[in-house]
Amino acid sequence: MSRIAAITCATLAALSIAAAAMAGDDTFVVPAWAFPGDSSKPAEAGQTDDDTLLHVPNSDAAFTQGQLTNLFSAPDWHPGTHPEMPGIVAQGRKPAVHACAYCHLPDGRGRPENAALAGLPAAYIADQINDFRNGERKSAWHEAWLPADFMTASAKAATKEEIAVAAEYFASLPMKRHVEVVETADVPKTQELGWLYVPLDGAGTEALGSRIIEVPLDHDRHELRDSESGYRAYVPVGSIASGRDLVEEGRGDPAFACTNCHGADLRGEGPFPPLAGRSPSYLFRQLLAFKTGARSSASSRSMAHIVKKLDAQDMIAAAAYAASLEP
């Protein structure tokens, strides 16, 4: 990190400690669209008898439906693309710690409903898990949201050693983008299914408005937990350029520029996590958490101070721009 950036980050942290609004913005309304739920209609992909072996492209592996729904055994379709997974990552520890790679995937790329862990600093990953354990990292949504609830439960049950092993594994992986960011005024009509949006065949389009709608390119492969299955994120027209200005120049004050801490290309700098190429839906939800005080640890204070000045449209733009960059 440059000396100027280090001074800027230290100054922001000092300011935020003194900020009276650290509990979050009580007047801000968290948008429901950022937290898609699960409809009563079951996912069709992979709905077969347990004895039927299922496959995905470019893989010699095969799994049954029962294996694919086992939270203590992460399906690994592409074992040649990453190092051998530690036990806590591949299998977890029954009955309380789910396999880390079941949700975050063996190559760490994650999915729209959870974090991409690949390439994050190991110390940062461990700190975030401890924040979940301590109640200092929560979902910004005021109701239960299963992806966050699952993470909190596993974090509370994990040991210090398990956390360290998982953090080192994911930190060692290169981040590979698998989301395409598309600016548009209209999007395919979708349904909420499995904590993301799924296009409805033949249903036409609707106005996007001020939202991010992230969909799987192949819903079957998403349901089969194929780490090489991609996503498309629809964002409002002009978001990327607006986000670039916000990220590089701050909201009217260069001291608030994201690049001061996260690096000129948002690939991370020192202890600050990389943001480039990650899911814009996920990034937006984290900005909401800083805005509302749902992320409230000491390490969150500088972000809370910065995001306090942003509205939902600003946060959409920043997330869209970050997601559009190469990791």
DSSP state of 176: -
| pLDDT greater than 50 at residue 224 | yes
Task: Count helices and strands (H / E) in the chain.
Answer: 13, 7
Distance of CA 28 to the CA centre of its chain: 21
Q: Quick one: pLDDT band at residue 23, thresholds 50, 70, 90?
A: low
| pTM, to two decimals | 0.90
Half-sphere exposure of 50 (CA within 13 A, CB side): 4
Taking CA 189 as the corner, what is the angle to CA 184 and CA 191, rounded to the nearest 5 degrees? 125
CA distance 227 to 176: 10
Residue 24: predicted pLDDT: 63
Burial of 143 (0-12, 13-18, 19+ CB in 10 A): exposed
| pLDDT greater than 50 at residue 70 | yes
| Domains and their CATH numbers in the chain | 3-36+41-178+235-324 (1.10.760.10)
Name, in order, each residue with C-beta under 8 angstroms of 4's C-beta and a sequence gap of 6 or more.
Answer: none
Q: Which residues lie across from 187 on neighbouring strands?
A: 206
CA distance 287 to 242: 16
Mean pLDDT of all residues in 5-27: 48
Half-sphere exposure of 129 (CA within 13 A, CB side): 26
Residue-wise pLDDT tens digits, 298-316: 999 999 999 998 999 999 9
Annotate 30-76 with DSSP letters as a single string: PPGGGS----SSPP-TT-S-TTS-B--TT----B-HHHHT-TTS---
Mean predicted lDDT score pLDDT of the chain: 91
pLDDT, greater one: 193 or 11 = 193
Residue 49: predicted pLDDT: 56
Residue-wise pLDDT tens digits, 275-294: 999 999 999 999 999 999 99
